[in-house]
Amino acid sequence: MSSLLFATMTPRLRMMGVQKSFGATRALKEVTLEVAPGEVHALIGENGAGKSTLMKILSGAHTPDAGRIELDGQLFHSTNPWHARRSGIAMIYQELNLAPHLSVEENILLGEEPARLGWLNRSRRRALAHEALAKLQHDNIPLTAPVGRCTTAEKQIVEIARALVGQSRIIIMDEPTSSLSELDTKNLFGVISRLRERGVSIIYISHFLEECQVICDRYTVLRDGESVGTGPMAEANLHQIIRLMVGREINEIYPRTPHTSGKPVFELKAVAGETKPRSVDLTLHEGEILGIAGLIGAGRTETLRACFGLDRLAGGSVFVGARERTHCSPTQRLAEGIGLLSESRKEEGLMLNRTLADNLTLTRHGPLAKFGWISSRRQNRVTLDWMQRLDVRARSPAQPMCELSGGNQQKIALGRLLHHDAKVLLLDEPTRGIDVGSKAQIYKLIGQLAQQGKAIIFVSSYLPELLGVCDTIGVMCRGDLSEVRPAAAWTEHSIISAAIGHRASQNSN
């Protein structure tokens, strides 16, 4: 739909002069946003720019301090998320907002349960849940399975499916593809196109700017809580948008630091888990960045968890250096210099009720101790150093983790491995929820770590970063890992072909 047509339409949503403060921190300063019926509108900005806060105001989770909101020309004031949902506003949260003890089916229809004469219509509920998953090409996810047992990627699908139920006028998608494969992202884009045809407005928040260019009609950029730019996506220059976001030029999205591979430091031979992986062979060398691609459920995360000792190994061998170290606990792996960054920072890895300093230094207190006691002064100094190096947006090392944006939480999770001085880093979706400026910093840091001789396994659903950052890449399909080959030998097409089992197509360009 043309930008001229959007300009002549009555806005579905108009937010004017919206302000919000949390204590002394001004999160939003006179923000303006307009979205037309049937428009896919990109809301872009760095971590901490105010995107999630603005959307939480729209969805009823926060109350604005000032400003005016109109929905289809009528003054709108959401008192709570339930009221916003009843008004036709659905939100997919970046931090998945699911009830882990309830089933997939129950989560999808939570708050929207079909009933008649006060009785729950279970067969109708099941049909609606199945239909929502089918739209996303994932009706294979068991409806009766507790959500707590699903992978992070499957939970992301369930969260999206929940937003597709009901008669929404506006759907807010906050990083909806952060854990999805390339194929699942394409399926989601198909769903978005069908919603657009029905007149549903989509507010699309993503750090994947290439995605925004593909699916969005217009964009608005926030920086430091203010609206700093808006316009038609078709006329947008990617570098101009990045400059608006960060307030500076970023010359290289995938900076390369020269490094060379050395001796083997971590080796898997026919490694198998109780369900996945089925068989994985790989050799990781000093100074190597080895990428692993694959679809949801292929076994990437399960492989890292089994190697780190979080899940039980059913077969195969693990070698650390020249020694066989197959059956070890996470504590033993940490002692061996192996660190894991989980794809689910909220459920694994971070203590959200504790401070940044406690989270970052959790696994290595030695340098902070004096006469057996942890020195808070040393702990704060170390934390401040990592906050500066990773550009963490926070008030101080004493701030609770739960108050940080998702991207800044991810940086602290990565900072913990760096503080621990791990020699082998198992990184599962390390840039999930991180903005483009911070991603460039993380990529540069990973290159510097490889230059220092550290060995890195990099699991990602985002193919451009695997091709741009990694030295070698392997692709997982149904629990098996393909032959690991130089990154230059792969293309996005050949990776996807291998991921769906078309191994004969791997060499196609």
DSSP character at residue 482: P
d(CA 264, CA 77): 60
Dihedral over alpha carbons 276, 282, 424, 257 (to 10 degrees): -120
Of 217, 188, 243, 233, nearest in space to 436 by CA: 243
- Is the pLDDT at 509 greater than 50? The verdict is no
Q: Are 317 and 270 in contact (CB under 8 A)?
A: yes
- Is the pLDDT at 479 greater than 50? The verdict is yes
Q: Are 56 and 37 in contact (CB under 8 A)?
A: no
Q: Largest Cα–Cα distance of the chain, in whole Å? A: 71
Least confident of 105-119, 218-232, 442-456: 105-119
Phi then psi for residue 143, to 5 deg, are -65, -30
Confidence label for 163 from pLDDT (cuts 50, 70 and 90): confident
Q: Quick one: average pLDDT of 173-180?
A: 82
| Percent of the chain surpassing pLDDT 90 | 49
Of 218, 226, 267, 231, nearest in space to 245 by CA: 226
Of 190, 212, 244, 247, nearest in space to 43 by CA: 212
Rounded to the nearest angstrom, the gap between the alpha carbon of residue 178 and the centroid of all alpha carbons in its chain is 3
3-state secondary structure of 195: helix
Distance (Å) of CA 52 to CA 174, 208, 386:
8, 16, 24
Phi then psi for residue 360, to 5 deg, are -70, -35
Which fold does the domain 252-337+422-509 belong to in CATH?
Rossmann fold (3.40.50)
Q: Would strands 480-481 and 472-477 be described as parallel, antiparallel, or unpaired? A: antiparallel
Q: Quick one: average pLDDT of 283-308?
A: 92
Phi then psi for residue 319, to 5 deg, are -115, 130
d(CA 11, CA 6): 8
* pLDDT 10s digits, 380-392: 999 999 999 888 8
Of 86, 62, 80, 70, nearest in space to 17 by CA: 70
d(CA 379, CA 21): 29
For the chain, state the CA radius of gyration: 23
Confidence label for 249 from pLDDT (cuts 50, 70 and 90): low
Query: What pLDDT score was predicted for residue 409?
Result: 86
Please provide the distance, in angstroms rounded to a whole number, between the alpha carbons at the two ends of the chain. 33
Domain boundaries, the chain: 3-88+167-246, 101-166, 252-337+422-509, 354-421
Of 1.10.150.120, 3.40.50.720, 3.30.1460.30, 3.40.50.300, which CATH number belongs to 3-88+167-246? Answer: 3.40.50.300
Tokens matching residue 61:
């989770």
Q: Do domains 3-88+167-246 and 252-337+422-509 have the same CATH topology?
A: yes
On average, the pLDDT of the chain sits at: 88
- Report yes or no on whether pTM surpasses 0.85: no
